[in-house]
């Protein structure tokens, strides 16, 4: 039976059919739906891990214990998981171990567009790149076999276009693969220098040459001979874009198994075509390798390292064809950046911080609250990566003190991000006597990636009740004193005000925990469905204070301020900031 599946759904289906037993991940666009879909198969133990490093280690442990295991993450997550990856590469596997990296050429929702094929080279792990959903499923099954046959983790690279594109997939049944016996083997699984030295030599002299041979012969690296004037070496989504442009008018070397690269196939292909173009997104990975072999080819001379590739880019780069003249409009559309939702619990504390802009710096982090840096709130000086909201704040605060700047640093982090890699930063802040303020925005969900459970929500990935990690007790255990801790409802503007004021005055590490669930959680939406606020036009003086909180439900049209009551959830932040008591609340909570 054929079904339309996204790449992510197909990967999950492939893991199921391959007899996978353990799957782990930390959510991150565009990879999130992989584990969400895997978790629907009860044959596979699935978990949201605390972060990608933990996810990788859980999967590695499961592999050593004998199970086919899978771990999924977005590209930057692989940086977090790099430590275990580089060493598990030495150890090898017992049950097959597949590591999925979902890269983001074009950065639709990421902070960089690193090309993780280069990680495979550096870590010396086998690398696979499917081109569509059917291949996602087929390759995953193959990846487990390769992992077991060659005793190596397999890095499985997909990109946004593959993860989030649907194409037809033939479904098959699951084949049960029994959990392998675990035999204690300290030389293989305990990486102390004496053992690592042997493993590294084995890797170089045995495993890699075998993988090289496999790469040269496998059908995953496939030559399609057509017209031989143009030969295209390509992989991943670039393959389907190239086929769209050239169809059968060019020959292709489609590289599906891309570390080690298939040297012999490159030579065979080069001997059979007049001119080689290498079409690959981001880094000139294959191109440099081919050129180093002494084979002439054209790649980044005509393609950019930045952004995605699409058929039009290929047409222009190789055929010199400009896009067809379309329509151009004289009226310009205003931008539509993502924004904190109506009723978002982050709004109140961000508005309060925005009033102290000349007294504070704000080191922000990855999550919905990154959007607090957008106009009109405009709160945020830095965003680097998960956890840096706290740790970068420590460094910022230290330099402010050295330079004699009278400014306080507020580090902002979400609940899931705090568990992910914020906790270690807070330990550092206490241990090294930082003077910074940590604001933990506990909205009881991992919101930005589409509502995943996390250690603070009391539920597992499959919705089963789980112990809830107590944020307040944790923060106190780390060493935050009672007088330096505020636990507040961020819908309460007086509480926000007091907390920010006390934090600015504090001379020790200070923590504010805001507690209010994400407005988009189903139960919250149900409970608050009848709540809304409205502008009393008799009292409104058009001072626009309410517009400065950046709520998408509030607008001013024809000099009349109004609130879209279908969007409004009655959070009452606007009610409290209005200096003329012109906004009134209505409705009752649904019990």
**CB of residue 563 to other proteins, shortest distance in Å:** 11
Q: Is 533 in the site for other proteins (CB under 8 A)?
A: no
**CB of residue 310 to other proteins, shortest distance in Å:** 4
55 closest CA partner among 17, 90, 97: 97
**CB of residue 409 to other proteins, shortest distance in Å:** 26
* Residue (215 or 457) nearer to other proteins, CB: 457
Which residues, 6+ apart, have CB-to-CB distance to 20 below 8 Å?
38, 44, 67, 68, 69, 70, 144
**CB of residue 35 to other proteins, shortest distance in Å:** 17
**DSSP string spanning 484-522?**
GEEEE-TT-HHHHHHHHHHHHH-SS-EEEEEE---TTSH
* Residue (157 or 243) nearer to other proteins, CB: 243
546 closest CA partner among 576, 566, 522: 576
Stretch that binds other proteins, among 157-165, 225-233, 286-294, 422-430 (CB under 8 A): 157-165
Tokens (6 digits) for 279? 């079409």
* Residue (166 or 267) nearer to other proteins, CB: 166
Contacts of other proteins in 449-468 (CB under 8 A)? 450
Stretch that binds other proteins, among 236-244, 355-363, 412-420, 430-438 (CB under 8 A): 236-244
**CB of residue 554 to other proteins, shortest distance in Å:** 6
Instruction: Respond yes or no on whether the N-terminal peptide bond of residue 30 is cis (omega within 30° of 0).
Output: yes
Q: Is 111 in the site for other proteins (CB under 8 A)?
A: no
**CB of residue 263 to other proteins, shortest distance in Å:** 27
Stretch that binds other proteins, among 83-91, 323-331, 508-516, 531-539 (CB under 8 A): 323-331
Q: Is 108 in the site for other proteins (CB under 8 A)?
A: yes
**CB of residue 276 to other proteins, shortest distance in Å:** 20
Stretch that binds other proteins, among 65-73, 165-173, 459-467, 571-579 (CB under 8 A): 165-173
User: Site for other proteins (CB under 8 A): how many residues?
Assistant: 58
Q: Is 326 in the site for other proteins (CB under 8 A)?
A: yes
Q: According to CB under 8 A, which one of 424, 544, 581, 589 is a site residue for other proteins? A: 544
Which residues, 6+ apart, have CB-to-CB distance to 140 below 8 Å?
10, 11, 14, 15, 18, 70, 98, 156
With 0-12 CB in 10 A as exposed, 13-18 as middle and 19+ as buried, what is 375? exposed
- Site mask for other proteins (CB under 8 A), range 277-316, x = bound: ---------------------------------xxx----
Q: Are 526 and 572 in contact (CB under 8 A)?
A: no
| Longest alpha-carbon distance in the chain | 83
With 0-12 CB in 10 A as exposed, 13-18 as middle and 19+ as buried, what is 310? middle
Q: Is 559 in the site for other proteins (CB under 8 A)?
A: no
> What Cα–Cα distance (Å) separates residue 415 from each residue in 146, 334, 387, 404, 421?
38, 33, 11, 32, 10
Tokens (6 digits) for 373? 């840096």
* Residue (147 or 370) nearer to other proteins, CB: 370
Q: Is 1 in the site for other proteins (CB under 8 A)?
A: no
Tokens (6 digits) for 534? 């409205």
Contacts of other proteins in 374-403 (CB under 8 A)? 374-376
d(CA 302, CA 322): 14
Q: Are 372 and 379 in contact (CB under 8 A)?
A: yes
**CB of residue 245 to other proteins, shortest distance in Å:** 8
Q: According to CB under 8 A, which one of 82, 118, 164, 395 is a site residue for other proteins? A: 164
**CB of residue 330 to other proteins, shortest distance in Å:** 6
**CB of residue 96 to other proteins, shortest distance in Å:** 29
Q: Is 244 in the site for other proteins (CB under 8 A)?
A: yes
Instruction: Respond yes or no on whether the N-terminal peptide bond of residue 586 is cis (omega within 30° of 0).
Output: no
- Site mask for other proteins (CB under 8 A), range 2-31, x = bound: x-x------------------------xx-
Q: Is 340 in the site for other proteins (CB under 8 A)?
A: yes
Q: Is 555 in the site for other proteins (CB under 8 A)?
A: yes
Output phi, psi for 103, to 5 deg: -85, 160
Contacts of other proteins in 494-523 (CB under 8 A)? 520
Stretch that binds other proteins, among 115-123, 225-233, 260-268, 554-562 (CB under 8 A): 554-562
**CB of residue 449 to other proteins, shortest distance in Å:** 9
Which residues, 6+ apart, have CB-to-CB distance to 194 below 8 Å?
none
**CB of residue 378 to other proteins, shortest distance in Å:** 10
Length of the chain, please?
591
DSSP state of 260: S
Q: According to CB under 8 A, which one of 271, 329, 402, 473 is a site residue for other proteins? A: 329
**CB of residue 497 to other proteins, shortest distance in Å:** 22
Q: According to CB under 8 A, which one of 158, 341, 440, 575 is a site residue for other proteins? A: 341
> What Cα–Cα distance (Å) separates residue 38 from each residue in 42, 48, 454?
8, 11, 17
Which residues, 6+ apart, have CB-to-CB distance to 471 below 8 Å?
415, 418, 440, 442, 456, 513
d(CA 351, CA 360): 13
**CB of residue 312 to other proteins, shortest distance in Å:** 4
Q: According to CB under 8 A, which one of 327, 464, 507, 588 is a site residue for other proteins? A: 327
CA dihedral 126, 132, 134, 137 (to 10 degrees): 40
* Residue (478 or 520) nearer to other proteins, CB: 520
With 0-12 CB in 10 A as exposed, 13-18 as middle and 19+ as buried, what is 338? exposed
Q: Where does this chain bind other proteins (CB under 8 A)?
A: 2, 4, 29-30, 108-109, 132, 160-161, 164-168, 240-241, 243-244, 310-312, 323-341, 368, 371, 374-376, 448, 450, 520, 544, 547-548, 550-552, 554-556, 566
């Amino acid at each position: 039976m054929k079904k339309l599946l996204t790449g992510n759904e197909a990967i999950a289906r492939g893991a199921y059919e391959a007899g996978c037993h353990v799957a782990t991940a930390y959510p991150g666009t565009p990879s999130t739906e992989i584990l969400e879909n895997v978790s629907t198969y009860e044959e596979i133990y699935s978990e949201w891990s605390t972060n990608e490093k933990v996810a990788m280690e859980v999967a590695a442990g499961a592999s050593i214990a004998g199970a086919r295991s899978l771990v999924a993450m977005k590209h930057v997550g692989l940086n977090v998981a790099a430590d275990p990856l580089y060493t598990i590469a030495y150890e090898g596997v017992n049950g097959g171990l597949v590591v999925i990296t979902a890269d983001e050429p074009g950065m639709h929702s990421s902070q960089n567009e690193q090309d993780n094929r280069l990680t495979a080279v550096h870590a010396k792990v086998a690398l696979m790149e499917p081109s569509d959903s059917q291949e996602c499923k087929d390759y995953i099954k193959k990846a487990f076999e390769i992992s077991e046959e060659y005793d190596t983790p397999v890095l499985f690279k997909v990109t946004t276009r593959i993860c989030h594109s649907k194409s037809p997939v033939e479904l098959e049944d699951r084949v049960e693969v029994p959990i392998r016996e675990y035999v204690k083997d300290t030389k293989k699984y305990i990486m102390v220098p004496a053992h690592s030295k042997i493993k590294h030599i084995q890797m170089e002299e045995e495993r890699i040459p075998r993988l090289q041979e496999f790469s040269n012969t496998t059908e995953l690296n496939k030559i399609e001979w057509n017209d031989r004037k143009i030969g295209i070496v390509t992989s991943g989504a670039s393959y389907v874009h190239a086929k769209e442009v050239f169809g059968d008018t060019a020959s292709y070397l489609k590289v599906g198994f891309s570390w080690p690269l298939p040297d012999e196939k490159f030579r065979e292909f080069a001997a059979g075509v007049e001119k080689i173009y290498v079409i690959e997104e981001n880094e000139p990975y294959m191109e440099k390798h081919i050129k180093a072999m002494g084979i002439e080819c054209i790649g980044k001379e005509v393609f950019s390292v930045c952004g995605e590739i699409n058929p039009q880019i290929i047409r222009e780069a190789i055929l010199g064809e400009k896009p067809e003249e379309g329509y151009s409009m004289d009226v310009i559309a205003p931008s539509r950046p993502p924004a904190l939702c109506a009723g978002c619990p982050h709004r109140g504390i961000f508005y309060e911080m925005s009033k102290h802009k000349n007294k504070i710096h704000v080191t922000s982090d990855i999550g919905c609250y990154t959007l607090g840096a957008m106009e009109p709130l405009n709160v945020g000086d830095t965003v680097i990566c998960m956890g840096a909201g706290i740790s970068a704040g420590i460094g910022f605060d230290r330099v402010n003190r050295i330079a004699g700047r009278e400014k306080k640093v507020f580090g902002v982090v979400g609940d899931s991000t705090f568990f992910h890699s914020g906790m270690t930063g807070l330990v550092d802040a206490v241990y090294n006597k930082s003077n910074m303020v940590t604001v933990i925005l506990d909205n009881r969900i991992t919101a930005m990636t589409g509502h995943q459970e996390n250690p603070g929500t009391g539920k597992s990935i499959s919705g089963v009740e789980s112990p809830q990690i107590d944020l307040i007790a944790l923060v106190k255990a780390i060493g935050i004193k009672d007088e330096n801790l505020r636990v507040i409802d961020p819908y309460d503007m007086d509480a926000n005000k007091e907390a920010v004021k006390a934090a600015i005055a504090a001379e020790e590490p200070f923590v504010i925990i805001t507690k209010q669930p994400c407005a988009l959680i189903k139960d919250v939406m149900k409970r608050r469905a009848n709540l809304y606020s409205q502008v009393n036009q008799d009292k409104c003086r058009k001072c626009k204070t309410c517009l400065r909180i950046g709520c998408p439900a509030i607008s001013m049209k024809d000099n009349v301020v109004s609130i879209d009551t279908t969007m409004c959830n009655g959070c009452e932040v606007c009610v409290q900031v209005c200096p003329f008591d012109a906004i009134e609340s209505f409705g009752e909570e649904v019990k």
